[in-house]
Amino acid sequence: MTTVTIVGDTTAEIAADVVDGRVLLDVGGLPDALGWELKPEGLCRADTCVPVRQRDALFVGERLDLVAVADALGRATVVDPDARIVAVALDQEQRRAALDSLTAPDVTLRDLDGQPHSLSDWRGQKRLLHAFSSWCGCRYDLPGWQALQDELGDENFTVIAVAIDESPDDVRPWTDDVTTMPVLIDPQHVLTEVYAISNVPAVVWIDEDDTIVRPNSVAFSNDLFKEFTGVESGPHLDAVRAWVRDGTTTLSEEDARGAVPDLSHDEVLARLHFRVGVEARRRGDDATARRHLERAGELAPMDFTVRRAAMPLLGGDPFGPEFMELFAEWQAAGSPFHGLPPMTADT
């Protein structure tokens, strides 16, 4: 056997062979590959077991087929046999729970110094989850969110900024004025998959009990790009203050439930191709990286976390003509977004 790289919410190197699109490994290697074990009662992780009706379908001879195992768990895969990279989708039930029952997925990410943090570390506080990126003008929003943190931090509230970026070095230049607000980095785009985020900035309100109070919505902390976006920061900031101080929300639980559409199969595959492309680029395999990043853009052409995020990785300018062309396409398509529209003074 040789080494295969498995890319999911983390990256793992496992002993396996890639044969005709199948990833074959010993049964004992499954926990390292996917975090699951094959037991008599099915595929198990901690206290959860998924029954497997056709157990033999998971095997090729004496070896497990990782793609078949992922399929049994309801997870899509993308396999690059030449690069020996396999991307595996995250738990779709976790995302559907977030969208339908408003249960906030507990994502674990690292800060810019490499220390791991889970969203549940701040359980017991109201949290504003702010997804941004260095390839987005919303990178200039960080001081404004820090100011909100300073204003409301003593009232059982925190802003958590998550950069949809590949390297801490991409993010650090924009954090000089950030002092007490946590800034995490999401190189695998875990957040965009489990929260069904298709553009940044995206803001999510999460209460003390890990319930999503307001799903993905567009919001800014200042009016720097108001003329371009047409979005004022004031109505949303005032709504956050009312929520933190008085528990007032502008969205009923009924309206919040199901307000964000699930990712399509193609949008999930796009994220997998993106992960393969990023891993290939990390290795210096530019041809493989380009092929997968471009394929990701074809599968999710209106998803900025895929298409615009790929621009700097492919040598493009995410603020230049290529972005303006994408922006015009997006507007012509009706500005599709997995989330709620921006707040206004009337909403």
- 24 and 103 together in one domain: no
Contact 297, 311 (CB under 8 A): no
Query: Are residues 297 and 270 in contact, defined by beta-carbon separation less than 8 angstroms?
Result: yes
The tally of domains found in the chain comes to 3
- Of 256, 276, 307, the domain-final residue: 256
Return the H-helix or E-strand segment holding 311. helix 307-313
Q: What gap in Å lies between CA 152 and CA 127, rounded to an integer?
A: 11
Q: Are residues 133 and 205 in the same domain?
A: yes
Tell me: do 66 and 135 sit in the same domain: no
C-alpha distance from residue 249 to each of 22, 210, 232, 245 (Å): 49, 16, 18, 11
Pair of tokens at residue 198: 């298709």
Question: Is 150 found in the same domain as 222?
Answer: yes
Say if CB 319 and CB 326 are below 8 A apart. Answer: no
Residue 341 forms part of a structural domain: no
Is residue 83 located within the same domain as residue 159? Answer: no
With respect to residue 240, please indicate whether it lies within any of the assigned structural domains: yes
| Residue ranges in the chain whose pLDDT is less than 70 | 347
Alpha carbon dihedral 305, 307, 311, 313, in 10-degree steps, equals 70
144 and 236 together in one domain: yes
Q: Does some domain include residue 345?
A: no
Q: Does residue 44 fall inside a structural domain?
A: yes
11 shares a domain with 104:
no
343 domain-assigned: no
40 and 161 both lie in a single domain: no
In terms of domains, do 42 and 111 share one? no
Q: Is 321 helix (H, G, I), strand (E, B) or coil?
A: helix
- In a domain? residue 338: no
The pLDDT, as a whole number, for residue 347 is 65
Residue 236 lies in a domain: yes
pTM, two decimals, is 0.95
Q: Which domain holds residue 316?
A: 265-332
pLDDT at residue 344 in the model: 84
Judgement on whether residues 126 and 41 belong to the same structural domain of the protein: no
Q: What is the pLDDT of residue 333?
A: 96
Tell me the per-residue pLDDT of 97-132, one tens digit each, with 9 for 90 and over: 899 999 999 999 999 999 999 999 999 999 999 999
Claim to verify: residue 106 and residue 79 sit in the same structural domain: no
Contacts of 28 (CB under 8 A, 6+ apart): none
